[in-house]
Every structure is written in C-alpha cells, then in structure tokens.
Structure 1
Amino acid sequence: MENRIRGLDGLRAIAVLMVFTQHRITGPGNEIGHLGVWIFFALSGFLITGILTGQREKIDDETSHFFAELKRFLFRRTLRIFPVYYLLLAVMAALMGLGFASPWLAPGLLFHFAYLSNIWIGDVLHYWPGPYSHLWSLSIEEQFYIFFAPLLLIAPARWHLKFCYVVFAAGVASIMLMRIENEPAIVAYTNPLGNFWLFALGGIGAAWLRREQSVARQILSRPQTFIALVCGVAALAATQPLWKLAASPVVYTGICMLYGVCIAATVCSIACSGSARLVGLLETRWLASLGRISYGFYLYHNFVPNFARLARVKAMFGGQAVPWWVQALGVAASFVVALVLAKLSWRYIEEPVLRLKTRQTVRAVNTATPARRADLYRG
C-alpha cells in the first residue's frame, strides 16, 4: 500500500472523471469516457507488466519458482478486485429477485460472474445494457491478468519486452482486420485483443524506463514533453468522431495506434516526471483521494440513478423538459452518492482486505531466509 508512484493516483482520478462525464453529462456521442478507459488500460499495463517482470526475475535468479509466483500474483489481484465486485453482483441479483432492480442483469449474470461481460455485450447483445454496460472494461482487465500473468512468468524476463511488442502488433492488426470486415463498432470496442495492445504499450513504456541511462526517461521526464503529449491526446480525443469515419482501414488504424501511443507515453511521462509542479498538482489531496478509491467509484457510479431523470421529477414539470439547473443538481447528487459509496467501500472492504494482504506478506517475511525476505519486501 505504501509502494506507489506519485502522480498516478491523480491520473486515475482524471480517468474516472472522464468516464463519469460521458455517462452523466455528454452522452454516447462523446468519446471522453473511451479515453478514460484507455488511460486505465495503459496504466495497468505499465504497472502490472513491471510487477510480473520483477517476479520472473526471481524465477530467473532461482530464488522462487513459477507456481509460487503465479499463485502470489493471482492471490494479490483477487484480493484487490474480487470482494467488492462480487458483493455488488450479489446485491444487485438479490434486489432484482425482490423486484427492486432492473431485470437486465438476469440474461448476463453468468457472463458477469465469469468476467465475460465484454463478450456478452459485444458478441451476444450487440448493444449497451444500461447500468451494466461499464462492466465490459473490468472484464477486459481480468482477462489481461489471466492471459499475461502465466505467459510472462513462464518466459524469461529478457523476453518480456519482445512479448509486449508481439501483443501490440497483434492488437493493432486485429483493429485493422475488424475495420476491413466492417465489424459493428460495439464488437471492435469490446474485443479483448483490440484492447490488450494498450496494456502492451504500457508494458513497453515501463520496460524502456527501467533501462539504464534510458533515453526514453530523459525525454519523457521533461515538462514540455508532457505538455505536448497532453495536447496530442486532447486533439485526437476531440476529433475522434471524425477519424472514426475514416474510409481507409489503414488510416483509421494508424490514427488509433498514434492515439494509444500518446496515451501510454503520457502515463510514462507522469511516472518519471521531473516536474515537481506537475506531480504536486496530481497529488492534490482531493484528486489523489479520488484516485485511490477510483475502482469502487467506477464500479458503483453507473448503478446510481440520475435523479433528474426519474419519472416523479419529470412529473413535477408537467411533462416539459427538466430545467438545466435540475439536471445539474441530478448529476451532482449522483456523483456525491457514488463518491460516498466508493469511500465506504474503501474504508470497510477494500482497505481491510489490503491490510490482510500486507500482514500475510509480513508473516512470510518473518519466516523466510534473509535473501527471500528482500525479495518479499520488493514484491
């Protein structure tokens, strides 16, 4: 819990605010939420591939073995993401059974429990199922863990960068192929391989930054590089509705690839930033606090209704359009409720579980050899 990179919690907060903005304010015609999800994917790739590489180095040094490291990785990830996710699904299923929640959960319940929401949405439904729509990205994240962890722990650490290159190339190729075959947008949007390349980009950036005398670190740590990257990402995000209509699959794929590279480079730029002002801004108390609970906020926010859209509220205005100030109050109220739920979730579920994980690590350290203790502290 103490081993963190300054600035990344703030970036998580910005990403989750982007998703909330699309779901509550701008609507489906705007792609700011997609940018937020891609930031999460690149950030996960940056962090998780670094963790897996560190674990594989222990195997290479013969201080550990494959099954021990795989078990440790999956155990830690399970403690982080499973408790609140499955608790939410259980509560929603119970409310649905009692008639207090939307029946939209029922057809996809098994998919959600198996972290296959993206398959259900993209390949079965072909439309977004209301409050359960955002679960697709959590499924992609879990599929990334299951796919990447065994492969990176089996392969020697020196191969990991090459593996990320292969996944990146395969993901970009899949985007082009789906574009050539005119696959529905929702299919391409939720396709696992069509998103894994963002994780691979994050992993590539992490590997470049770990190199001794890294040129990438020297360039990305400059404030002017960060500003240029942010401007590039903003320009591509603002024009996304236009370049999504590009006739040529090659042009579309090229722009899409550039967009992903800029996003991953922005994550790396923050991670190695030499600007105290930038890091200080991202470490602002409220921003870092939201980033710390961003998983819970993301998970819960879509289930909180927009009160301005309730039938009783609309009836108060005689069926006429609800005034803008009422809509603004509805958005603000749903944000506060989601924030409170996320804070309670962190305080009473997520943080205690993480402390349990820390205590188990300490117990393992106390019973280990001196060399193994150092490895456990680093892990």
Structure 2
Amino acid sequence: MDNRIRGFDGLRAIAVLMVFLQHRVLSGRDETGHLGVWIFFALSGFLITGILSAQRRTIERDASDFFTELKRFLFRRTLRIFPIYYLLLIVMAVLMMFGHAAPQLKSGLPFHFAYLSNIWIGEVLRYWPGPWSHLWSLSIEEQFYLFFAPLLLLVPVRWHLLVCCAVFVTGLASMLLMRFAGTPEIVVYTHPLTNFWMLALGGIGGAWLRVEGSTLRALLSRQSGFIAVLFGVTALCVTEPNWSAVANPAVYTLVCTLYGMGIAALVCAVACSGSTALVGVLETGWLASLGRISYGFYLYHNFVPDPARLNRVKALFHGAAEPTWVRFAGIAISFGVSLWLAKLSWRFIEAPILRRKAEWTQRVVNTTGRRAGLYKS
C-alpha cells in the first residue's frame, strides 16, 4: 500500500501546474485545468482500486474481515486528506467572521465541511464561486472513496474489473442523458456520476496492467506508445473548449470517452514504463518534489490572491491596464506563496502524520479486532 510508482509524483506536479495556470494565466475558455483534474482522478482510480483489491484478497484469505479492512482504508484516507482540508476551512470560516474572505459565500461552508462542494456549485449556485471553485474535485474524490471502498471490499476480487466497467458505463450514460435533457453545463461538469467514470477508468487500466501477459502493458511500455498517447491527449485538450458547441450529445459523449481513455492510458503508460527517458523527466527533482506536496498546493493556491489583481495595485495605473511585467510578477508571487504554504504544510502537518500513519492505523485496526472478538465471545 506504500509502494511508490516512478513518475507518478511528476505527473501529479504537471497536473497541479495545469490547474494553477488555468486559474492564474489562461483564459476562462481554456480547459487545461480540467485535464489536470482528470489526471488526478485517473491516478486516484488507478491507485485506490489496487489498494482495495489487495485488501479484499486479505479478506478472501480469511486474514481479515470486511469491517476491519473498511476501517483501515477510511482511516488511512482520513489521515491523508482531512487535517489540512479542515484546517483551511476553519481558517476561512474565521476570516469570514471578520469580513476578510467573501462572507457572501458563507452559505457554502456546510457543503464544504460535508465534502459536498460540487453539489453546492452545480445544484445551488450554478456558477463558479471564485477561490472556492476548485474544492468541487476534492468532494468528488471523497464521495468516490465512500462509494467505492465498501463496494470493492464486499465483492470478490475477480469481479473488481467488472465493477469498474459498470461504473464507467453508468457515468457515461448519465452524461449522455444529461446532455440530451439540456442540463446546464456546470451541473454536468460537477455531478458525481459524470466524474466517477474517470476514476473507474483509472481502476480499469490498473486492473488490466496487473494481468499477466497484458497486451495493454506491452503497448504502453514502449516509448512510441507513450508518445502517441501523450500527443493524442494534448490534441484533445486543445480542442476541449469547442466541445460545448457540439450539438449532438452522442458525439460529445464519445469525444469525452476518448479523452478519458487517453488520460487513463497516459497514467498506465507512466506506471509500466519505469525505465524510459520520458518517465525519467517526470522523476526530475523539482517535479517530484512538487508532486509530493501537490495536495497542499492544490488546496491552498486558489485562496492566495494575485497581487497584480488587487484593487490597490490596479489603482496605481489610474484605470489603465497594468504592465505585462506587473502581471507576471503577480503570478510569480502567488505561485511562490502557494508553494511556500504547501511546503510548510507538508513539513509540519502532512509528513509527521504520514510517518505515524501505519502505527495509528494498526492501533485502530487492532482495537476493532479486539471488540469483534468480545462480541463473538
């Protein structure tokens, strides 16, 4: 459960940089940030499905039971994602009390605390609420864990690939039906079902790679296969802003499917190409370092203001557009502050917790086992 796959940290770094560029540099019509989010989804699906399959095998060997393994999984996930997430929400709630953090959006706090940010944005607001917008994807991941973990721990390992395929098909069918019904774009974008399929697709790719003599592994482990997938995903990313103009829901869904399959294939290509030069680039020191702290960077970056966009700075130019150097300086400062916060978070909160994660998890699991033994006796 703690094995590190070469290249994944670098891929996380590129994904979070895409999101940052979307929010700070690129136009509203660009969808580079969406690619970054879907890379995160495919990575999560790939890894989480493998972890849950390993835990289910433990159950099938009668070395553990469903409730123990579910508690193990959820407790480990809680230790990884809850501390800095809820710390941030508490800080923002305090700032709201004093009128320093968009108090008009305080109605969203209950949704954020319940990991329902995507529901608040898509079903309640139906617009993107500035610095809170990126929390929708974290809610999707948490909802997926709560749905997927009990499901995979209940069913035999031999059915896991079938379960992932069922979630994949259900998600695409939901997207197709929503498009036919004329559902607002933001609702489709943030709905759980229209995103779960991307995580399930990462799980499908991981399951196929683990099959002995896998054709998928043979294709993607080649450098030519890696490059072909990379170019295909890039081409689809560039054209994504035009997809919303596609009138035919079936064509739109087909293109989304191809895009998702390309992203999942890219994740799989990195996973099975540990010695290639391209994965070596992803293992570059600064990329791997950013990838390790990417969760904190993603969480904090949208709340760090761009100095060039502050009213006091704009007033210095008497209504004229700020110079290009000021614009880029603002982007660089916001990136630096976000990176600094993520590094502090990693050093003083996340890393210390992760070092104790195995010990704390074992303690919780052992407590569960002792209670189960008492009930049986």
Match of 1:29 in 2: 29
CA RMSD of aligned residues (A): 1.6
Where does 1:124-203 land on structure 2 (aligned, <5 Å)?
124-203=124-203
Q: Which deviates the most, 104-113 or 72-81?
A: 104-113
Q: Residues 104 and 15 (structure 1 numbering): CA distance in 2 closer, same or farther, change over 3 Å? A: farther
Where does 1:326-341 land on structure 2 (aligned, <5 Å)?
326-341=326-341
Question: What is the deviation of 1:96?
Answer: 1.0
Q: Which deviates the most, 216-225 or 272-281?
A: 272-281
Query: Is 1:222–1:275's contact at 8 Å kept on the other side of the alignment?
Result: no
Query: Is 2:76–2:361's contact at 8 Å kept on the other side of the alignment?
Result: no
Question: What is the deviation of 1:354?
Answer: 0.6
User: Structure 2 stretches of 5 or more lacking a match?
Assistant: 368-377
Q: Distance in 2 between matches of 1:120 and 1:73?
A: 27
Q: Distance in 2 between matches of 1:365 and 1:187?
A: 39
Match of 1:269 in 2: 269
Over the matched positions of the two proteins, sequence identity in percent amounts to: 68
Q: Deviations over 1:61-106 (max 9, x none)?
A: 1111000000000000000000000000000101111222221441
Match of 1:372 in 2: none
Query: Is 1:168–1:196's contact at 8 Å kept on the other side of the alignment?
Result: yes
Q: Distance in 2 between matches of 1:104 and 1:140?
A: 24
Query: Is 1:223–1:275's contact at 8 Å kept on the other side of the alignment?
Result: no
User: Structure 1 stretches of 5 or more lacking a match?
Assistant: 368-379
Q: Which deviates the most, 82-91 or 233-242?
A: 233-242
Question: What is the deviation of 1:361?
Answer: 5.7
Q: Distance in 2 between matches of 1:30 and 1:104?
A: 27
Give me the TM-score of the superposition, normalised by structure 2: 0.95
Question: What is the deviation of 1:137?
Answer: 0.3
Match of 1:73 in 2: 73
Question: What is the deviation of 1:358?
Answer: 2.8
Q: Residues 269 and 142 (structure 1 numbering): CA distance in 2 closer, same or farther, change over 3 Å? A: same
Q: Distance in 2 between matches of 1:162 and 1:365?
A: 29
Question: What is the deviation of 1:3?
Answer: 2.0
SS in 2 for 1:244: helix
Q: Distance in 1 between matches of 2:328 and 2:270?
A: 32
Question: What is the deviation of 1:238?
Answer: 0.5
Q: Residues 125 and 157 (structure 1 numbering): CA distance in 2 closer, same or farther, change over 3 Å? A: same
Query: Is 1:46–1:203's contact at 8 Å kept on the other side of the alignment?
Result: yes
Q: Distance in 1 between matches of 2:8 and 2:217?
A: 16
Give me the TM-score of the superposition, normalised by structure 1: 0.94
Q: Distance in 2 between matches of 1:134 and 1:345?
A: 18
Query: Is 2:226–2:266's contact at 8 Å kept on the other side of the alignment?
Result: yes
Question: What is the deviation of 1:318?
Answer: 1.1
Question: What is the deviation of 1:2?
Answer: 5.6
Match of 1:13 in 2: 13
Q: Distance in 1 between matches of 2:299 and 2:136?
A: 11
Q: Which deviates the most, 80-89 or 350-359?
A: 350-359
Say if 2:112 is the partner of 1:115.
no
Q: Distance in 1 between matches of 2:364 and 2:141?
A: 28
Q: Residues 36 and 104 (structure 1 numbering): CA distance in 2 closer, same or farther, change over 3 Å? A: farther
Q: Deviations over 1:321-359 (max 9, x none)?
A: 111110000000000000000000000000011111133
SS in 1 for 2:25: helix
Question: What is the deviation of 1:29?
Answer: 1.0
Q: Which deviates the most, 267-276 or 35-44?
A: 267-276
Q: Which amino acid aligns with 1:16?
A: V
Query: Is 1:221–1:269's contact at 8 Å kept on the other side of the alignment?
Result: yes
Where does 1:76-91 land on structure 2 (aligned, <5 Å)?
76-91=76-91
Q: Which deviates the most, 275-284 or 43-52?
A: 275-284
Q: Which amino acid aligns with 2:239?
A: T
Match of 1:221 in 2: 221
Query: Is 1:111–1:117's contact at 8 Å kept on the other side of the alignment?
Result: yes
Q: Distance in 1 between matches of 2:180 and 2:94?
A: 43
Query: Is 2:68–2:365's contact at 8 Å kept on the other side of the alignment?
Result: no
Q: Deviations over 1:6-28 (max 9, x none)?
A: 10000000000000000000132
SS in 1 for 2:103: coil
SS in 2 for 1:26: coil
Q: Distance in 1 between matches of 2:305 and 2:211?
A: 47
Query: Is 1:37–1:137's contact at 8 Å kept on the other side of the alignment?
Result: yes
